[in-house]
Amino acid sequence: MVTHSATLDVPRHLVEFLARLLAAHRRTISTPSGSRALGPFRQAVLVLRWFRDRGRVHRLVHDAGISQATGYRYLHEGIDVLADRAPELHDVLERRHDEGMPHVVLDGTLVACDRVAGVTENGNDLWYSGKGRRFGGNIQFVSAPDGTPLWVSDVEPGSFHDPRVARAHALPALYKAARDGLPALADEGYTGAGAGVHTPIRPHPDIASPLHVDNRAHNRLLRSIRVRGERAAAELIQRWHALQYVTLSPSRIGAIAQAALVLNNAWR
């Protein structure tokens, strides 16, 4: 056996931030002092190790000296405590409008997960994405023009396309923001999303000729403005590796992504 030391590559203030949230949660639910196997700081380290390294829980609990059941309970508690602090979309858009932001960017991504049971009305796997060719959950992002993640939706099954998930979680708030002067930019997958959501112009399916030069210029300008804003999903997934492949229940993907957003904002 060879022993070695390891360093958790997150700022210490981030661990302390989560530890304070966990301590406040314990006071809220009246947890008796000294009744937990881990204190708030060590629990925060366990949760952040899972987010950062996508570590297997049985390894984390071995290092922490606790049972696997306790480890999962601590992990889910940490996810929920963070996700509860995720901002609401209406509040985000109102604040950004007051700051004078010219637009926001709407985008979606598929977070991969293990194969799970569940079928659609036509008998296909509910959580399987034909477009992505893998099992996963669809979540929507709203980001600033520079790609800073601002908001993350709850999860829907991978068989749901972006417009369907956006209609359920994002578009009502985006319509109101657009009326107030804060439009949203999106890719062509959101074509027909509604007023205030600007997407590239598609050529008519029955007309073989190319787009008019004005429409091509419109598309080129829209893509050049939107491209930086679409980095939000990549920033969260590359920083918080737990989002690269979720082995917990896929219904937890939304809470995990929202927790990652809160951690990302605290890191910044």
pLDDT of the residue at 203: 79
Q: What is the pLDDT of residues 87-119, one digit of tens each?
A: 999 999 999 999 999 999 999 999 999 877 777
Nearest to 263, CA basis, from 16, 5, 59: 16
Q: Which two tokens stand for residue 10?
A: 């997150």
Amino acid at 189: G
Nearest to 144, CA basis, from 254, 228, 233: 228
Q: Which two tokens stand for residue 98?
A: 């007051």
Element (H, E) at 138: strand 134-143
Q: Which residues pair with 110 in a beta bridge?
A: 138
Strands 104-112 and 184-185: parallel
Q: List helix spans (H) across the chain.
A: 12-28, 40-53, 57-64, 68-83, 89-98, 162-169, 171-179, 213-226, 232-239, 253-267
> Taking the model in full, what pTM does it have?
0.91
Q: How far, in Å, are 94, 103, 182, 223 from residue 229 at the CA level?
A: 18, 10, 15, 10
- Cα angle value 218/223/225 (rounded, 5°): 100
Q: Which two tokens stand for residue 13?
A: 């203030």
DSSP state of 19: H
What are the backbone angles phi and psi of residue 18, rounded to the nearest 5°?
-70, -40
Q: What is the pLDDT of residues 241-253, one digit of tens each?
A: 999 999 999 999 9
pLDDT of the residue at 40: 95
Per-position pLDDT tens, the chain of length 268: 666 556 788 899 999 999 999 999 999 999 898 889 999 999 999 999 999 987 688 888 888 899 999 999 999 999 999 999 999 999 999 999 999 999 999 999 999 998 777 777 777 789 898 888 899 999 999 999 999 999 999 999 999 999 999 999 999 999 999 999 999 999 989 988 888 899 988 877 666 667 878 888 888 988 888 888 888 889 999 999 999 999 999 999 999 999 999 999 999 8
The C-alpha atoms of residue 14 and residue 20 are separated, in whole angstroms, by 10
pLDDT of the residue at 164: 94
pLDDT of the residue at 192: 87
The C-alpha atoms of residue 245 and residue 62 are separated, in whole angstroms, by 22
140 and 119 in contact (C-beta within 8 Å)? no
pLDDT of the residue at 96: 95
The C-alpha atoms of residue 182 and residue 166 are separated, in whole angstroms, by 17
